[in-house]
Structure 1
């Protein structure tokens, strides 16, 4: 496996992060450059990137909320970020195709979970498509069933990891 560094995002990563998001998600689901810029500005502590030889090859990002599930407005406005909230919501876990299936996404997730624990959060929440439910269960997440979120017109499942 290549030498991978996990670090906090920086504003100058915004173009690369946007590019990776466009590779990893359909246009109806992908966050925009402006959305990433806002997230990096408002909650950079919950935005980690993975890089190899100085090139960002993946990331995980989210905000803090008191909600026990992700609702669509969280994706679109940083106004829903509650700095002293009890839960961390994950918006996306992205790794470019050439670096998949070698443990980078898992490392990002484990770092994110440790960060949530270290900052005193009660749980980590996310939504995923049905084919990824098993993957997230491997980290200890529980499937809470079909989500009310209709982000991007897709069917999502609510997942919760109690810390």
Structure 2
């Protein structure tokens, strides 16, 4: 298997990340190219990409907040984001569908958590679909509650990891 590498995203990665996001997520739940570009530009240290043989195969992107409101749709455009806030909110954990099932999501999450700890963050929050709750529990997240968010017309569940 060609070597894997992690790095923070740069603006020129936005199109590839958008391609992955739009093929991995259903309907309206995928972020637009504009949102992905905004996330890279405003918080590159919270936008981690995984590369294999020089190609992006997956990524995690996030923002930070002093008070977390998981159903806040404006936060997906980083409205209210503060890089120095202690609470991380993950907006996407995504692996190219052609590369899924190879442990990439776990590798991404392990590296992301280590980087957030190194930045002195206190917690990581995310929302996921019901079928992914056990996966995130195995990664160290605790189930919080069903989310009031109706993002993309889907049912979501809030998860939390205390660092």
If the TM-score is normalised by the length of the shorter chain, which range does it land in? over 0.9
Native 8 Å contact 1:69 1:125 kept in 2: no
Report the counterpart of residue 154 of structure 1 in structure 2.
154
The 3 A distance-change label for structure 1 pair 37 and 65 is same
Report the counterpart of residue 139 of structure 2 in structure 1.
139
SS in 2 for 1:121: coil
Equivalents in 1 of 2:101, 2:66: separation in Å? 33
Report the counterpart of residue 124 of structure 2 in structure 1.
124
Aligned residues: 162
Normalization by structure 2: what TM-score?
Answer: 0.95
Equivalents in 2 of 1:151, 1:11: separation in Å? 25
Native 8 Å contact 1:49 1:56 kept in 2: yes
1:78-102 CA distance string (max 9 Å, x none): 2221122111010011111221111
Report the counterpart of residue 24 of structure 2 in structure 1.
24
Normalization by structure 1: what TM-score?
Answer: 0.95
Structure-to-structure mapping, 1:11-160, within 5 angstroms = 11-71=11-71, 72-75=73-76, 77-160=77-160
Unaligned 5+ residue runs, structure 1? none
Equivalents in 2 of 1:2, 1:23: separation in Å? 23
Shift, 1:73, TM fit: 2.1
SS in 2 for 1:90: strand
Q: What CA RMSD, in Å, does the superposition of the two structures yield over aligned residues?
A: 1.1
- Structure 1 segments, 4+ long, off by >3 Å, are none
Equivalents in 2 of 1:142, 1:66: separation in Å? 20
Higher deviation after alignment, 63-72 or 146-155: 63-72
